[in-house]
Amino acid sequence: MAPVDRSKARVVVERKVSAGGVVIFSKSFCPFCTQVKDLFKDLGVHYEVVELDKIENGSTLQEALLDVTGQKTVPNVFVNKTHVGGCDSTFQARANGRLARLLAEVPQLADQSTSYDYDLIVVGGGSGGLAASKEASTLGKKVLMLDFVVPTPLGATWGLGGTCVNVGCIPKKLMHQAALLAHGMDDARSFGWEFGDQAKHNWETMKNGIQDYIHSLNFGYRVALRTKTVTYDNALAKFIGPHTIKATNTQGVESTLTAETFVLAMGERPRYIGIPGDKEYCITSDDLFSLSYCPGETLVVGASYVALECAGFLARLGLSVTVMIRSILLRGFDQQLANLIGDYMVDHCGIKFIRQFVPTKVEQIEAGTPGRLRVFGKATEGEETYMGEFNTVLFAIGRDACTRNIGLDTVGIKVNAKTGKIPVDEYERTNVPHVYAIGDIQEGRLELTPVAIQAGVLLAQRLYGGSTVKCDYLTVPTTVFTPLEYGCCGLSEERAVTMYGEDNLEVYHSNFKPLEWVLPQREPTQCYAKIICHMQDDERVVGFHFLGPNAGEVTQGFAVAMKCGLTKTTLDSTIGIHPTCAEIFTTLSVTKRSGHTTEVTGC
């Protein structure tokens, strides 16, 4: 372009703008210009860009832009001959719908940007995905939910509802209940019940009952989606464009679907350790709950939630169980409580712990249901050794986020290369403006069903209901359903010391004896209650820990109280319910600092 004066430059600007479409006057080094260009890229909308720093008359054009629009700064954006403004104004127009309206007026752009098949596509039909889909649809949006289960290496698969319903919380808690009943039967005689000695557990009956219930839940979810007018497709989703997904159904039929917004909720699947024989001969929790035969003598590898819960119920069902532990029990949890759980599993459930070991190889001795397997392992710093024979080896060594090979790179969605998790901000936004992530795939958040549900509902309400309420990921209660259950909320003692310093904390604790344990003469020293109070903050309870029967039921109410700012004084002024286990928290008087005994002597 030859040098031009300001009036001629104005004509150049007006000509560019009058051609219609999206025109961005930009400077190639300007980060705000990049944001605006990325926005249109994400929207899949073609734009024309004039980089003022790269052309001869750039500065004169910028003067002319001031004359035309009253704005000298870049970016300076026009859509369909209408001045939209700079970066903030453009994003504001995107948020309040003005941009969509302007784009819709441009026939060639309407195709690209506004005629999406759906307002929202949710990828993943588990706890988070179901919650987000139903809420968005209730708020009047056109929603598609895609859910697909890739079979395990041994072929297990399941229906709609995700991990919790099919291979997580629900079957786990029901098997835990089967195990508690065994304990109850042991106790029953001391309460006068008389029955023969031949109590025997039938795995198939338990498994069939649980699977029937799960199938009814799968059906219920389908009905709920239909009632809420969410379109559901049992298909694997893969991004093939910023707003476009390829869905491949169970018959291999592919369809291409577009949406304005996406919520990712793909969850996680069990990790394999990568040693010879793991995928061929071993199972994970994804196989266990639908296993057609009793697993028999079992080696559980891992030492966190899944490993200890499964080891616990299998042992209480009468199986010989060994747990191989790489380092510590229940990493991240209060270690005093974690070790009490371990002691109880060893002393009262007959579980064997192999500590500081990892498996190195699994060989099949004999096929069957169950067959027999030979396991080799090594001490964390040692040579390979023969560890023994087992019918079943259950790997519970953590879970991998389902974020690989589904085209997230096509859209430019950032994934932590090490963990496979998706970083999100407090609004569950990924780095791509129209893509959100909730549930287990989020980086650095708790992997629990109610967390995924809460995040899904609140996200939909913010997107489509005008809400500003964010999901509060702090002070989330949880329970480990080991034979002696452990409920907690807030900080572990270790974490509280790191955060506040030992001198600023008062730790109150006590053993307690459930009344139900008196007649069967179960050892009273196992049950334990602990609260951690921040002294400078009115002795506010920052950590709550309960090891005893019905820990989930006990912990839930105290979690509510902690949200309300529970203090030691409030606990002391609360009258307990007698005779219960939870009442111990209203009478805690022994501090750890005092070193006094925590044993209980009477009721």
Query: Taking CB within 5 to 8 Å according to partner kind, which of ligand NAP, ligand FAD, none is near residue 302?
Result: ligand NAP
Query: Taking CB within 5 to 8 Å according to partner kind, which of ligand FAD, ligand NAP, none is near residue 358?
Result: ligand NAP
State the binding string over 169-208 for ligand FAD (x if CB under 6 A, else -): x--x------------------------------------
Contact call for residue 279 and ligand NAP (CB under 6 A): no
Tokens of 273: 């350790």
Question: What's the N-to-C CA distance of the chain in angstroms?
Answer: 94
Of 21, 75, 125, 302, which lies in the binding site for ligand FAD, with binding defined by CB under 6 A? Answer: 125
Tokens of 220: 């219920």
Measured distance CA(567)–CA(569) in Å, rounded: 5
Smallest gap, in angstroms, from Cβ of residue 429 to ligand NAP? 23
State the binding string over 257-276 for ligand NAP (x if CB under 6 A, else -): ----------------x---
Contact call for residue 396 and ligand NAP (CB under 6 A): yes
Of 30, 43, 149, 387, which lies in the binding site for ligand FAD, with binding defined by CB under 6 A? Answer: 149
Tokens of 81: 């001959």
With beta carbons less than 8 A apart as the criterion, state whether 126 and 452 touch. yes
With beta carbons less than 8 A apart as the criterion, state whether 299 and 394 touch. yes
Among residues 99 and 396, whose Cβ is nearest to ligand NAP? Answer: 396
State the binding string over 39-78 for ligand FAD (x if CB under 6 A, else -): ----------------------------------------
Smallest gap, in angstroms, from Cβ of residue 312 to ligand NAP? 11
**Binding to ligand NAP, residues 315-344 (CB under 6 A):** 326-328, 331
Query: Taking CB within 5 to 8 Å according to partner kind, which of ligand FAD, ligand NAP, none is near residue 266?
Result: ligand FAD
Contact call for residue 406 and ligand FAD (CB under 6 A): yes
- Give the CA diameter of the chain: 105
Measured distance CA(1)–CA(12) in Å, rounded: 10
The half-sphere exposure of 136 on its side-chain side, counting CA atoms within 13 A, is 27
The half-sphere exposure of 373 on its side-chain side, counting CA atoms within 13 A, is 28
Of 153, 398, 514, 549, which lies in the binding site for ligand NAP, with binding defined by CB under 6 A? Answer: 398
Query: Taking CB within 5 to 8 Å according to partner kind, which of ligand FAD, ligand NAP, none is near residue 126?
Result: ligand FAD
Binding region for ligand FAD (CB under 6 A) out of 4-12, 165-173, 251-259, 583-591: 165-173
Measured distance CA(565)–CA(559) in Å, rounded: 10
**Residue 74 C-alpha from the chain's centroid:** 41
Q: Are strands 540-547 and 528-534 parallel, antiparallel or unpaired?
A: antiparallel
Contact call for residue 62 and ligand NAP (CB under 6 A): no
Smallest gap, in angstroms, from Cβ of residue 152 to ligand NAP? 15
Contact call for residue 397 and ligand NAP (CB under 6 A): yes
Tokens of 295: 């697993």
Binding region for ligand FAD (CB under 6 A) out of 64-72, 123-131, 365-373, 459-467: 123-131
User: In degrees, to the nearest 5, what angle opens at C-alpha 423 toward C-alphas 418 and 425?
Assistant: 160
Q: In this structure, what DSSP letter does residue 203 have?
A: H
Among residues 62 and 482, whose Cβ is nearest to ligand FAD? Answer: 482
Query: Taking CB within 5 to 8 Å according to partner kind, which of ligand FAD, ligand NAP, none is near residue 402?
Result: ligand FAD
With beta carbons less than 8 A apart as the criterion, state whether 255 and 167 touch. no
**CA 380 vs CA 192, 359, 389: distances in Å:** 49, 10, 20
With beta carbons less than 8 A apart as the criterion, state whether 87 and 27 touch. no
Smallest Cα–Cα separation from 305: which of 178, 201, 164?
Answer: 164
Alpha-helical runs (H) found in 43-106: 58-69, 87-96, 98-104
Which residues carry out catalysis? Answer: 578
Measured distance CA(114)–CA(261) in Å, rounded: 11
Contact call for residue 435 and ligand FAD (CB under 6 A): no
Of 225, 455, 480, 529, which lies in the binding site for ligand NAP, with binding defined by CB under 6 A? Answer: 480
- 190-195's contacts with Cβ under 8 Å and 24+ in sequence apart are 190/519, 190/520, 190/521, 191/519, 191/520
Smallest gap, in angstroms, from Cβ of residue 310 to ligand NAP? 9
Query: Taking CB within 5 to 8 Å according to partner kind, which of ligand NAP, ligand FAD, none is near residue 129?
Result: ligand FAD
Residue nearest to ligand NAP (CB): 304
Among residues 170 and 584, whose Cβ is nearest to ligand NAP? Answer: 170
Check residue 215 and give left, alpha or beta (phi > 0: left; psi -120 to 50: alpha): alpha
Contact call for residue 312 and ligand FAD (CB under 6 A): no
Tokens of 266: 């793909």
Under 8 Å CB-to-CB from 144, ≥6 apart: which residues?
A: 117, 118, 120, 121, 122, 230, 231, 232, 233, 257, 259
Among residues 99 and 394, whose Cβ is nearest to ligand NAP? Answer: 394
Smallest gap, in angstroms, from Cβ of residue 552 to ligand NAP? 8
Tokens of 256: 């291409």
Smallest gap, in angstroms, from Cβ of residue 399 to ligand FAD? 6
Among residues 84 and 547, whose Cβ is nearest to ligand FAD? Answer: 547
Give me the residues that bind ligand FAD (CB under 6 A), please: 123-129, 146-149, 162-164, 168-169, 172, 236-237, 265-267, 285, 306, 402, 406, 439-440, 447-450, 452
Which residues of this chain interact with ligand NAP, rule CB under 6 A?
273, 301-307, 309, 326-328, 331, 358, 396-399, 446-448, 478-481
